[in-house]
A and B are shown apart, each in its own frame.
Chain A
Amino acid sequence: MFRFILRRLLQMVLAFFGTTLIVYALMFAGQGDPIQALAGERPVTAAQRAYLTQKFHLDQTGVGGFFYRYFDYISNLLRGDLGQSLTGRQISDILAAAWPVTVKLALIAMAVTILFGVTAGVLAGIRRASIFDNSTLVLTLLVLGIPTIVLAPLAQYFLGVKWQLFPPTAGAEPNLYALLLPGIVLGSLSLATALRLTRTSVAENLRADYVRTARSKGLVKRRIVSVHVLRNSLIPVVTFLGVELGNLMSGAIITEGVFNIPGVGFNLFRGIRTEDGPLVVGIVSVLVVVYLLSNLVVDVLYAVLDPRIRYE
């Protein structure tokens, strides 16, 4: 176990640098004119252009320029300096402001997913083809037919503005209640996927040999389901949730925009749009650690859920 974790941590260091390298390269390759991107439709003065070009080494182009800028970035990163965004803000400040609210939002979405998605999935799996099962299918279709970009403003208008059940926006320092509606909206697609995944998995495991054996031995159905079936069925679900945690953090662009939450998704979008390399790489650096850790936790959980699986 200890050696397994140690080996994984070493691999993670490699994966970390691999990701930053690739993302840095993508930002570099996609760079059009970051100074104009920042200015929008206003013309850029020569003085402003010269100032920013020099400050951010934007004149370093080509392969040589790329490695010059990448190693410059990495050496600063190792000294704990994430650099500045094009508007002069410290990236570390931006990240420190954006991550907490995004983590809260993602955890709420995750809780909603687990609480409703997995539970409903188990029930639907046990009673396949029942009315309940079919209504979960309808729910899935609704979520898929109404993408977040439609669902978020609809939920905001009806639940926030018209019936005033929730605050219509959350803002920069929201309480948990204000994050509830955005969390549900954000989690809806994950919920639908988790639901169908659990349902399929449970339904399949209910047909396994060991269930038949257990039943013939006279075990109560509830015990079979809760002890045996659930543990085995949860493996793909837990895997999905592990990946989804990171997706919920980086992919909340629309939700964060509609509910005015200045989190990671919003900053990632802003960074990409303004071609702000240091900002994007800074966000991705943290993001990839989230993916690496949550996938590590999931892999460790496999052995807990299914004793036949061993660490290698």
Chain B
Amino acid sequence: MSDIATVAATEQVGAPQKARSLAGDAWRDLRRNPIFWISLTLVVVVAAMAAVPSLFTANDPRDCLLSRQHAGASGGAVFGYDFQGCDTYARAVYGARASLLVGALSALLTGIIALVVGMLAGYFGRWVDAVLSRVIDIVLGIPLLLAAIVLLKRVSTSSDNVRLFAVIFVLAVLGWTTAARVVRSSVITAKEQDYVAAARMLGAGNGRIMWRHILPNALAPAIVVLTIALGSFIAAEATLSFLGIGLKAPTISWGIDIDAGRVHMRESATPLVVPSAFLALTVLAFIMLGDAIRDAFDPKLR
């Protein structure tokens, strides 16, 4: 969403005389919001970690010696070593890539599907709604684990990247339903509002009404559901990987490490706490970012 805002904002600078667009207004608000900057910084840090993990740690997360099991902090391993004797911090840093990609991309894909389906179903109603809503019901009935096993089995021997995107695809394709129903509900409410009727009387087309008047009103609940889904997707990846259908070693992810840390948490809690904290901070960043963007886009605030 921030991309849209930035692009729109750049245009705005070039044409200050033009009537203020919604995105322009939003950017104006965002710039003044400290929470936006804090959360953006966090997201950028995690993204940098995902892109160039070696910037954050000099240690090799795959250099593991059993003799260092649960050893304390030393030589760059600021949080000590885990059950296998790997550097806990280095693993959390290197885990950012897979986890962030899975979380953010699944949430993004989910958001796109949910917005399109929810918007069409809620706005047009009648047979469009009937068809799309029953599709939602059908997808709800398909167990994630079953679909994941069938779909991911086909890529079990493919390269790491293919498997990563297959995991993202599976999570998104089965994970969009709740968000779509929530979007549909907000659209149904929003389209009965007076300003929509007014816009329609002024001759606005369906596309314009949906984009300008209904989307901004429907966005808020969707963002809430999606930011929380982002966290769940990261955890879901761990479940799939643990069962042998998700990511495979040597790929590192927070989910996998949280699961490993859980098993031995009564011996040493740090290997569980560190990746959990990374996960929670990332979700926090996205929740705050979502809040800030939503506030900026909310037409009722102006």
Interface residue ranges, A against B (CB under 8 Å): 7, 11-12, 14-15, 18-19, 22-23, 26-27, 29-30, 137, 140-142, 144-150, 153-154, 189, 192-193, 196-197, 200-201, 204, 207-209, 232, 235-236, 238-240, 242-244, 246-247, 250, 253, 268-269, 272, 280, 284, 287-288, 291-292, 295, 298, 302, 306, 308-309, 312
Contacts and interface: CB of A to CB of B under 8 A. Distances in A.
A201 B280 contact: no
B142 A144 contact: no
B241 to A, nearest CB: 12
A15 B138 contact: yes
A312 B258 contact: no
B130 interface: yes
A308 B192 contact: yes
Nearest to B276: A145
Contacts of B280: 141-142, 144-145
B140 A140 contact: no
Given A23-B141, A235-B186, A236-B186, A150 B276 contact: yes
A309 B188 contact: yes
B182 A291 contact: no
B55 interface: no
17 contacts: A18-B138, A23-B146, A137-B284, A141-B284, A141-B287, A145-B279, A145-B283, A150-B276, A204-B298, A208-B300, A236-B185, A238-B185, A246-B140, A272-B146, A287-B141, A295-B133, A309-B188
Contact of B143 (A193, A244, A268): A268
A190 to B, nearest CB: 10
B12 interface: no
Contacts of B223: 200
Nearest to A29: B150
A123 to B, nearest CB: 16
A4 to B, nearest CB: 11
Contact of A272 (B125, B137, B149): B149
Contacts of B225: 193, 197, 240
A147 B258 contact: yes
Nearest to A153: B262
A19 B141 contact: yes
B181 A137 contact: no
B15 interface: no
Given A19-B141, A284-B143, A235 B185 contact: yes
B232 A30 contact: no
Interface string B131-169: 001101110111101110110010000000000000000
A140 B287 contact: yes
B178 interface: yes
A30 B283 contact: no
Given A141-B284, A149-B239, A207-B298, A240 B276 contact: no
Contacts of B143: 23, 250, 268, 272, 280, 284
Given A150-B262, A207-B301, A196 B134 contact: no
B48 interface: no
Contact of A288 (B141, B178, B259): B141
B276 A236 contact: no
Instruction: Identify which of A29, A147, A209, A312 gathers the most chain B CB atoms within 10 Å of its CB.
Output: A147
Closest 3 CB pairs of A and B: A145-B280, A288-B141, A144-B231
A140 B228 contact: yes
Contacts of B221: 197, 200-201, 236, 240
Nearest to B261: A150
A5 B140 CA distance: 21
B283 A291 contact: no
A3 B155 CA distance: 47
A196 B141 contact: no
B70 interface: no
